[in-house]
A and B are shown apart, each in its own frame.
Chain A
C-alpha cells in the first residue's frame, strides 16, 4: 500500500517532467536555464523546509519538567538558543543572497538580446493570435494566425502588442512569458534547439475564452522553414475541383468575407484570422480543435458551442453548403 502510493505520487510528480507545454521539458536554451534554476531552487529550498520541520518535530519531543514556572528561564539554555537562532538567521541570509545571485544570472540569460535574422510582430486579440512575419522587403511580409514556424538554432525576436486587453505570450518549452499590453510594445526572444511542435497558451486573463487561446510554435530546419515561408507568402491556390469551387463561392457570399481574408480572392476582412493557408495549420480556433473536416464543419456551424462568447457569429448555412465550404477551407494549404 505504501509502495503503491509512493509510486503513484512519484509518477504523478514526474509526469510534469516531459510534456506538451511543460516548463520542465526544455527545448530551447532559455527554457533549459530556467528549468535548471528551478531544480536548484527546489533542492535548496526543499532542504530548508526539511530542516525547519525537522527542528520543529524535535522541539515537540523535548519537554520541560512538569510544573515548571512558565516565566522561568535557564540562562544557559537561553544563551544556547540565541546562538542557534542567530546562526539559523545568518544561514537564511546567506541562502537568500546566493539564490538572489543565481536569479540575476538567470535573468541575464533570459533577457539578454541576441541578434537573429527573423522578427515577428505578434498581436494578441480576444481570443487568438495575429502573427505578422516582418521582412525588409515589403512583398515578403505576410500575416497568419495562431501558428508560428521558426528555424531551429537561431534566436527569433517577437514584438508583442495587444489590440484590446492584456494578453500574455507563453511557450513554456522554449522560454518564459511576456505580456502583450495595450499601448506599449514588449519584446521576447525564442529559440528552439531541435525541431518539434511546441504549444503555448495565453497566460493573462483576457475574458471569456482565455482558456482557449492557444498557439503552436513549430521549429524546423532552415530549408523546411524557408519552404513554409514562401508558401505562406504566396496567395491562396485556386480551387482544384468543382466542390472546392462551389465552396469558394459560398465563402464569398456569406458573412465570412466581412471578417476574414483569403489573399488571392475577393475576401478582404481584417478583423478575424487570416485564412489564406488555414488548411496548412494543425489547429483551428486558436489551438482548440485539430484541423480535420469534422472539426472545421463543427466550428463553422456552431462556434459558440465550442468557444462560447467568441466573436465569430453563428451563420445561416444550408445543409448542402457545409461540405463544399469545408473542402474549400481544407484545401487552402
Chain B
C-alpha cells in the first residue's frame, strides 16, 4: 500500500537535507505534510531504529534468497538474475564464436571441402542469430539489470518478478534454437532470413519456424527488461538524484530501453507474418497474391538498424564509466554526452533503408537515407571527442579496463568510418553483401560492443564477485584480442573489394582470395584464443583473485558504495545524492535517508525528473510463478511452430500461471 503525499510548496524541491527525509522526526514546518512526518508505528521496525550489524543481518534476512532449488527458481533479486543473464549471454557468445571458428576453417582454403553448404549455411545463420539476438541485445540489458539499482541507489529493479520471467523466457528461447541446431533443424537462411528464401516454398521443414519463434522469445524478454529499465530510471532513483546527476551508463541504458521498446515490435511483426505465411497460408510476402517480398525487408530493417544501436549504446555507457574512473576526472561534456546518446537513439530509426540500397528503390528516397546515415556520425563524434577531452584533462590509469577502451577507440572509429563509406549509395552498390560489409560490421560491433564489454567485465568483476581479475592475464588478453581481431577482419575489407561476396561456403582458387582468407582464419584462431584466455582469467580470478574492497578503483558512482559483492539489500540505508559522482563528493561518509522498513521489502519511489523521494512502495517477494509462466509460454511458442492450435491450448496454462502470479496477496505492510 502506498502513502500519497499532500501537495506541498516548491521550496522543497531544493537539495534535500539528509536528516529531513522519511524519518519519524517531526518536520520543521507546522501542519501535517506526509505520513513520513507522522509518529512512527511502534510495530513496524524501520532502519533508523536499528543500526550496524543488526541492521545488516535483518535486512539480509528480509531481502535474501532462500537456498535450494525452489529458492533459486523463485528469486527476484536483480543481482542474481543479472548475473545469470550475463553468464548465459557469454555462453551464447562462446557458442556463436565456435560456429565462427568452424566457418573460418572452411574458408581458409578455396574449395576446402571441410563442411558442406548445408552445414555452413546453418553455421553462419546460427552465428549471426546468436550474436545479434542471444548475445548482443541481452548483454546490455544484463548489465542494466545488475547495475541499475546499484547505480541509482535503490534496492531492486522495478517489476522484479517480470525480471525473473524475462530471464527464463530468454534462456528457454536460446536453448530451443541451439537444441534445434543440434538436431539438424537449425535455420539456414541467414540471420535476417529474407523471403522468399525463408518462405514456405524455398525453405522446407521447420528450420525457419524455429528461427521465427526464437525471435518471439527474445522479443518478449527484451521488451520486458526494457520496460523495467525505463520505470526504474524514472521512478526509483535515490533521493536527490536529479536528471543531471544520473550516471552516464544509466542514461545509456535508458536510451537503449526506449530503442528496444520501439524497434523490437517491427521484427516480431515480420517474424509473425513469416510464420503465418509458412504455417497458415497467408500471403503477406507472396507477390502472386498481392503481397511483397520487400515488405519483409522494410519491417526487418526498421528493427535491424536500431538493433545495432541497441548493441552499441550500452557500450557507450561502459566506455563513459571506464573513461571517467580511469581518467580520475569527472566527464567532460556531460550534457552533450547525454544529448548525443538521445539523438543517436532517435536518429537510429531513420537509417534503415541503407540496408536496401540495391533493391531498386527510388533514388530520391535512397539519398535521404544516405544523408541521415552520414549525419548520425555527428552525435557519435560528439561522444568520441568528449571522451578524448576527459582523458586529455585527466590522469589516465593504464589498467586493463582502460586498455580495452583504447582498443574500442581504435577499432570502432575505423568501423564507423567504413560505415560512412557504406552510407553512400554508389559505394554501397559495389560493396553491399560482400566481405567489406562483414569487415565493417565486425569492426563496429566487436570494437563498439565487445571491447567495451570486456573492459566492463574487468572493471565490475570486483563488484560482482568480490575479487580482482588478474592484471597480467588481462594485458595478455587485450593484446591477443586486439591483434587477433585486426588480423582476422582487416583483410576482409580487401577481399570484399576484390569481389568476394558474403555467405559463400567456398570460392574458386582462381579468384585470388585464398591468401587473404588464410590470414583471416589465422587471426580468427588467435581471437578465439584470446577469449579462452579471458575465460581462464575469469575462472581463476573468481576463485583465487585478490580480494577487493567495496571501491578498488576509487570510482565515483553509487554502486561502489555497496559491498563487493553487494548484500541482497544493496545498501543498508538508501544514499542521498548531491553530486554526479557521489563517492567523490563525499569521500568519508555518504549522506543517507532513513525510514524504510526493515521487516518488509520496501523501496523509495522518486519523482521522475527532480528525484525527490515521493512514496514508499513494497518490492515484490520471491515467487515461483514467473518460472511457471515462462514454462507455459515456452510450451505455447514451441507448440505453435507445429500447429496454430497451440496458441489456444498453450494459452490456457499461461493464463493459469498469470492468475497465480497476480493473485492479490495480503501485504504485510498493511497489517502492520
Contacts and interface: CB of A to CB of B under 8 A. Distances in A.
Interface of A: 12-13, 15-16, 19-24, 31, 33-34, 37-38, 41-42, 45-46, 48-49, 52-53, 55-56, 58-60, 62-66, 68-71, 73-74, 77-78, 81-82, 84-85, 88-89, 92-93, 96, 99-100, 102-104, 106-107, 109-111, 126, 164-166, 168, 170, 172, 175-179, 181-184, 186-187, 199, 201-211, 214, 288, 308-309
Contact of A16 (B116, B293, B497): B497
Contacts of A184: 287, 294, 360
A103 B370 contact: yes
18 contacts: A16-B495, A41-B421, A59-B388, A60-B391, A70-B556, A73-B329, A81-B332, A92-B377, A103-B374, A106-B425, A107-B363, A107-B426, A166-B196, A176-B358, A177-B432, A187-B360, A207-B121, A211-B504
Give the 6 A-B CB pairs with smallest separation, nearest first.
Answer: A176-B429, A183-B287, A21-B499, A106-B426, A211-B504, A186-B360
A13 B370 contact: no
Given A20-B499, A45-B421, A177 B512 contact: no
Given A37-B427, A41-B421, A70-B584, A63 B396 contact: yes
A308 B421 CA distance: 36
A103 B427 contact: yes
B329 A70 contact: yes
Contacts of A12: 491, 494, 515-516, 519
A182 B394 CA distance: 58
B393 interface: yes
Contacts of A19: 498-499, 512
B427 A164 contact: no
Contact of A89 (B329, B366, B378, B501): B378
A186 to B, nearest CB: 4
B494 A15 contact: yes
Contacts of B374: 96, 99-100, 103
Nearest to B328: A70
B202 to A, nearest CB: 5
Contacts of A45: 417-418, 420-421
Given A12-B515, A179-B359, A64 B395 contact: yes
Given A88-B381, A177-B430, 14 more contacts: A34-B426, A37-B426, A45-B421, A52-B409, A84-B385, A84-B389, A92-B381, A176-B426, A176-B430, A181-B359, A205-B190, A208-B121, A211-B504, A214-B508
B406 interface: yes
Given A53-B410, A70-B330, A77-B393, A110 B420 contact: no
A308 B374 CA distance: 42
Contacts of B386: 85
Interface of B: 116-118, 121, 189-190, 194, 196-197, 201-202, 287-288, 292-294, 328-330, 332-333, 336, 358-360, 363, 366-367, 370-371, 374-375, 377-378, 381-382, 384-386, 388-389, 391-396, 406, 409-410, 413-414, 417-418, 420-421, 423-434, 491, 494-495, 497-499, 501-508, 510-512, 515-516, 519, 556, 579, 581, 584-585
A6 B508 CA distance: 28
Contacts of A23: 430-431, 497-499
Contacts of B328: 64, 68, 70
A52 B386 CA distance: 12
Contact of A22 (B360, B363, B491, B497): B497
Contacts of A106: 424-427
B512 A20 contact: yes
Contacts of B288: 183
A106 B332 CA distance: 39
B494 A165 contact: no
A13 B515 CA distance: 11
A12 B414 CA distance: 19
B604 to A, nearest CB: 26
B393 A22 contact: no
Contacts of B406: 56, 60
A38 B118 contact: no
Contact of A308 (B117, B418, B494, B508): B117
A16 B494 contact: yes
A170 to B, nearest CB: 8
A123 B433 CA distance: 19
Nearest to A62: B392
Contacts of B201: 164
Contacts of B378: 89, 92-93, 96
Contacts of A33: 426
Contact of A203 (B433, B505, B512): B433
A69 B417 CA distance: 36
Contact of A71 (B330, B382, B385): B330
A45 B424 CA distance: 13
B613 to A, nearest CB: 24
Contacts of A24: 497-498
A186 B502 CA distance: 22
Contact of A181 (B294, B363, B388): B294
B434 A203 contact: yes
Contacts of A70: 328-330, 556, 581, 584
Contacts of B584: 69-71
Contacts of B504: 210-211
B429 A38 contact: no
Nearest to B332: A81
Contacts of A73: 329-330, 393
A278 to B, nearest CB: 19
A199 B513 CA distance: 14
Contacts of B333: 82, 85
A309 B395 CA distance: 61
A203 to B, nearest CB: 4
Contact of B499 (A66, A172, A182): A172
A32 to B, nearest CB: 12
A178 B360 contact: yes
B117 A96 contact: no
A78 B334 CA distance: 12
Nearest to B125: A205
A302 to B, nearest CB: 14
Contact of B384 (A52, A60, A74): A52
Given A177-B432, A203-B501, A99 B409 contact: no
B247 to A, nearest CB: 14
Contacts of A22: 497-499
